[in-house]
Amino acid sequence: MSKHTPPPFDGDGDRIIDEPLSEALSRRYLAYALSTITGRALPDVRDGLKPVHRRLMYAMRMLRLDPTTTAKKCARVVGDVIGKYHPHGDVAVYEALVRLAQDFAQRYPLVDGQGNFGNIDGDNAAAMRYTECKLTVAAQLLLDGIDEDAVDFRSTYDGEDEEPVVLPAGFPNLLANGSSGIAVGMATSIPPHNAAELIDACLLLLSNREATTLDLLELVQGPDFPTGGIIVEPKASMAETYETGRGGVRVRARWSKEDNGRGTYQIVITEIPYQVKKADLVEQLAGLIELKKAPLLGDVRDESAEDVRLILEPKSRNVEPEVLMESLFKLSDLETRFPVNMNVLDARGTPGVMSLKRCLQSFLDHRREVLVRRARFRLAKIEARLHILDGMVIAFLNLDEVIRIVRYEDEPKAKLIAAFELSDIQADAILNTRLRQLARLEEMELRREHAELAEERDGLVKMLGDDKQQWRLVGVGLKDVRAILGPDTTLGRRRSTFDVAPVWDAEAAMEAMIVREPITVILSDRGWIRAAKGRVEDPSELKFKEGDKLGFLVSAETTDKLLIFASDGRFFTVGCDKLPSARGHGEPLRLMLDLDDKTDIIDLFPFKAGSKRVIASKEGYGFVMPEEEAISARRAGKQVLNVGAKGAAFAMPATGDHLGVIGDNGKILIFPLAELPEMPRGKGVKLQTYREGGLRDAIIFNEADGATWIDTAGRTRVWAEWKDWLARRAAAGKLAPKGFPTSKRFKPK
């Protein structure tokens, strides 16, 4: 008998809904994206925490893991978090906890970890069953007031418990500890800052709401990374970053020079950029030495113990330490750029990029709300206590009658309420009072407490109705926090400093380390490049892969830069010292540069400072270009000539005073080279007019020497009548003279 499977139902008990897959996926992915943005990846501007961190803080608070108590196993904390608040994996939660305890990752650690919590080398923490943790003083500042209705609570994922929507946050944790995360379609990256400087900026905003970002930056110098380092980002750039909420910060390792005697020295690195793993950095520097990409660096070793201590030895005692370090800053992670994207959730849970001022103002608004809510909570407690004290005072004023009722009446509570107009709460308080508390001294104590609470109540009521007093008390609270996290404390002392990056010609210094030798650059027709030592006297002896042949043969030196002109109008730059040896067939040039298969090499030549080139496209446009404009350090090269579909034609040395061009139609035009403009890049001006075809070839010569061409037999022919073809630029020209090569070229290609 076959088993009958009933049609599936949806959650509402209806049959399956028929809808387009694209709509169903879009709706579900949108829900996932919103969940990721608001519930996982972006921090809240008020407390600077993501949900997992906030749940960790609250769970540890509920476990009474205060700074003064004994630490508990991290496994216990992680278990509570994933069991009560955070429906995700234990590994992810433990990793979040570990990061909160790492003093090289957090500027103000929120977890006091005991055991192996990893290190700056990138080693992992011990398993959670071995490590222990408790809250730090900084974490206490974030949680202070959470038991006094300072923030809203919501149901946990299973509805069995409650968790805070946000923490009270006694200091601007978002900027103090920074944050980073990737959501769907957006990300955040906020560097850590000095808490004392941030509080000073908050106090300035409290006194002057019209303060600008530049005013705030007089107090907030910039990021303060837990690993220290030297920030070399220009002040103007940082001001723009803090104004717009987007930008970046360049940070360098801190180094010093140690003399070893006999004229030798070594460089000592004591601080490395934020989020750089020390072990990876050492490996990277060693790789530069092995690949001969850092010719000024001789050796690197790690002598670190508790503190960072990396030793760099120069290749030669003659190398200036500043030049060595500038070269390494360019080649390694000794200098990094920390991206800034202050994308956070506001008080309504809406993501957005905020400026420094808006972040601080949002924090201050939150602190005021916390102040008001705590005051209302305290006021309610006072009112309840005063209500009881009022009943106790009535009891003392009528003590004999109260004792009689309690002693002789069957229902003393009802009698007390009826006799003295008491409430149920007051009557219960009187009935629960012990006889020894009915002494005269106890009555005086009650009256004193009543007066004090009444005075406090009046102060709270006045404060709740006075905005200025509320803001003043917010400032008082921030000053108290500053005393804990101030610059005079070990934790609050600024670690990152600022400097201007010195201008050193590190590239020239590196070139000076290259041995100057003559070479011959060989580029095959299929794009394989190599460099042979010395001069190649007989090109016919060169060997190529099967089906390949010689394309270009150029004499140069190892210290030269090789300029390569491509058919798409780009120039590429390759150091001749980096070219592969001629022992084999070399390497494909397309692996060294970003060249596609459709782009051809038009010319290559060694760079000569002060020299100029005439470059032109096959459409017949061109200009004079200084060779300095062709230099590019990018693999993608530099777009110098704007070409059409036909591509580039030539790049000739501008070593004469006249230019002769010939088109595909066989017509030649000669005009003074001075009629061409000198440009750094562009399309240029028209050289010759064509009805069909385009530019085929060109020649540059001096009027005094005259023009020449090479015939099919390889003989140089002197062109005595060249002036008959002299005209203005952009003319059509005249047909080539009798005997001119049928290839329509001045020289064989």
Mean pLDDT of 487-493: 93
**Adjacency order of strands within the sheet including 518-524:** 550-557, 518-524, 528-533, 587-588
Residue 654, pLDDT above cutoff 60: yes
What superfamily would CATH give domain 49-168? Topoisomerase II, domain 5 (3.90.199.10)
Annotated domain spans of the chain = 49-168, 254-333, 360-485
Tens of pLDDT along 69-99? 999 999 999 999 999 999 999 999 999 999 9
**What is the reported pLDDT for 337?**
96
Which phi and psi (to 5°) does residue 299 adopt? -160, 155
446-449, Cβ contacts within 8 angstroms, sequence gap of 24 or more:
446/389, 446/392, 446/393, 446/396, 447/393, 449/385, 449/389
Question: How does the average pLDDT of the chain come out, rounded?
Answer: 91
Residue 105, pLDDT above cutoff 60: yes
User: Which pLDDT band, with edges at 50, 70 and 90, does 236 fall under?
Assistant: very high
Flag the least confident range among 137-146, 330-339, 435-444, 595-604.
435-444
**What is the reported pLDDT for 246?**
95
Residue 12, pLDDT above cutoff 60: no
User: Which pLDDT band, with edges at 50, 70 and 90, does 3 fall under?
Assistant: very low
**Contact partners, residue 534, CB within 8 Å, separation at least 6:** 518, 519, 520
Residue 749, pLDDT above cutoff 50: yes
Count of positions (residues) in the chain: 749
Do β-strands 612-617 and 648-653 pair in parallel, antiparallel, or remain unpaired? antiparallel
**Contact partners, residue 90, CB within 8 Å, separation at least 6:** 78, 79, 82, 128
Flag the least confident range among 112-116, 501-505, 552-556.
501-505
Mean pLDDT of 701-718: 89
49-168 and 360-485 in the same fold: no
Question: Catalytic residues, which ones?
Answer: 130
Mean pLDDT of 592-609: 91
Neighbours of 265 (CB within 10 A): 17
Question: What are the counts of helices (DSSP H) followed by strands (DSSP E) for the chain?
Answer: 19, 35
Flag the least confident range among 133-147, 345-359, 641-655.
641-655
**DSSP three-state, residue 471:** helix
Mean pLDDT of 493-515: 75
Residue 4, pLDDT above cutoff 50: no
Fold of 254-333: Gyrase A; domain 2 (3.30.1360)
Residue 508, pLDDT above cutoff 80: no
**What is the reported pLDDT for 506?**
55
Tens of pLDDT along 162-180? 999 999 999 999 999 999 9
Tens of pLDDT along 31-57? 777 777 777 789 999 999 999 999 999
**What is the reported pLDDT for 81?**
96
Fold of 360-485: Topoisomerase; domain 3 (1.10.268)
Provide the sign of the torsion angle of the four alpha carbons 414, 416, 419, 425, taken in this order: negative
User: Which pLDDT band, with edges at 50, 70 and 90, does 512 fall under?
Assistant: low
Residue 15, pLDDT above cutoff 80: no
pTM (two decimals): 0.71
Tens of pLDDT along 534-558? 998 888 889 999 999 999 999 999 8
**What is the reported pLDDT for 293?**
83
Q: What is the C-alpha separation between 693 and 660, in angstroms, rounded?
A: 17
Mean pLDDT of 554-573: 93
User: Which pLDDT band, with edges at 50, 70 and 90, does 262 fall under?
Assistant: confident
